[in-house]
Amino acid sequence: MTIPALAIPAEKLPRHVAMIMDGNGRWAIQRGYPRLAGHKAGTENLRRVIRSTVEFGIKYLTIYAFSTENWGRPPEEVMGLMRILEDVIDRELAELSKEGVQLRHIGRLERLAPKIQSKVLQAVELTKHNDRLVLNVAFNYGGRDEIVQAIQRIIKDGVPISEVSDQLVSRYLYTAGVPDPDLIIRTSGELRVSNFLIWQAAYAEWYITPTFWPDFDKEEYRHALETFANRDRRFGGVAPVALGKGSNA
Ligand code: IPE
Ligand code: IPE
Ligand code: MG
């Protein structure tokens, strides 16, 4: 089966795409706007990207919206980002739910304002039976923080040492039950992980583009997916073609 909008066979599509939505601030500064205008434009773009993800038939999307390190930004910007999260839930929830999007949150919810916590929990509850797209929103998320809390819970549960395995650790992460990301897209050209899905990304493919997040459009998304479809994922093994050609066996 081929996805009509894509010309990529379904089995070559990533099951799980994760995105580091970076470059909102620079997008705004370039236009002489305040940084928060960049975050607003980024939010508009997110709506389009979610819609394209559903259309492309991708089952899991994870978006990095606020990191545990982003608290270090000026208070007005932090407050603005919190307000944007609230506004997005207020304005978009019904529509997202109608489109079959299941919302999940990854990160430390308990460190957010109580009003935001209850909005997030309501959104998760309302959409929990939707199954077209699972959308993980990484808000107040940090990969190291996630691993630290997993270790704490493993110890608290008294898990015997012999039972601590890759699979067990994965089950203690915020992403329990979600397949690892196949493709991670980072906009704005930075060549770093910035504490995103550091455990889950062990064998993810990366697509990094200089485009700032508000300008990352459907065409470029399609290009990222096509690039992914042509990658040779070896997972530490040897590509079958190389085996055939190169060996004397
Ligand atoms: C990404 O855009 C959004 C968040 C981190 C919340 P930035 O705000 O990091 O934009 P730049 O990197 O400063 O341009
Ligand atoms: C990563 O972007 C976090 C999010 C996109 C939410 P940052 O802009 O915070 O990352 P650094 O500071 O460039 O590493
Ligand atoms: Mg940035």
Share of the chain above pLDDT 70, in %: 94
pLDDT band at 240 (very low <50, low <70, confident <90, very high): confident
The predicted-structure confidence for 106-119, as pLDDT tens digits, reads as follows 999 999 999 999 99
Q: pTM here? A: 0.95
70 is catalytic: yes
Q: How far is CA 102 from the centre of its chain?
A: 14
Instruction: Classify the C-alpha dihedral 204-205-206-207 as positive or negative.
Output: negative
Tell me which residue of 145, 173, 198, 169 sits closest to 161, measured CA to CA: 169
Residue 138 has pLDDT above 70, yes or no: yes
Residue nearest to atom 13 of ligand 1 (CA): 25
Q: What percent of the chain has pLDDT over 90?
A: 92
Residue nearest to atom 8 of ligand 1 (CA): 25
pLDDT at 145 over 90: yes
* Ligand 1, pocket residues at CB < 6 Å: 21-26, 66, 70, 81, 188
**Alpha-carbon torsion angle 35, 16, 4, 54, nearest 10:** -60
Report whether pLDDT(4) > 60: no
Whose tokens are 């599509």? That residue is: 13
Mean pLDDT of 99-104: 98
> What are 188-227's pLDDT values in tens digits?
999 999 999 999 999 999 999 999 999 999 999 999 999 9
d(CA 11, CA 116): 38
pLDDT at residue 63 is higher than 80: yes
Nearest CA to ligand 2 atom 14: 194
**Which of the four CATH numbers 3.40.50.300, 1.10.3720.10, 3.40.1180.10, 1.20.58.740 does domain 12-143+180-229 have?**
3.40.1180.10
C-alpha distances (whole Å) from 164 to each of 143, 178, 247 are 19, 19, 38
Give me the amino acid identity at 159: V
CA 231 / ligand 1 centre spacing (Å): 28
Distance 248 CA to ligand 3 centre (A): 49
Q: In whole angstroms, what is the distance from residue 134 CA to residue 127 CA?
A: 10
Query: How far apart (Å, rounded) are the C-alpha atoms in residues 152 and 174?
Result: 13
In which order are the strands placed within the sheet that holds 183-186?
A: 101-106, 133-141, 60-67, 16-20, 183-186, 205-208
Give the pLDDT confidence score for residue 248 in this predicted structure: 45
**Would residue 90 show up in a list of annotated catalytic residues for this protein?**
no
Model confidence at 247: pLDDT above 50: no
The minimum-distance atom of ligand 2 relative to the CA of 138 is: 6
Dist. CA 208–CA 191, nearest whole Å: 7
Q: What pLDDT shows up at residue 249? A: 40
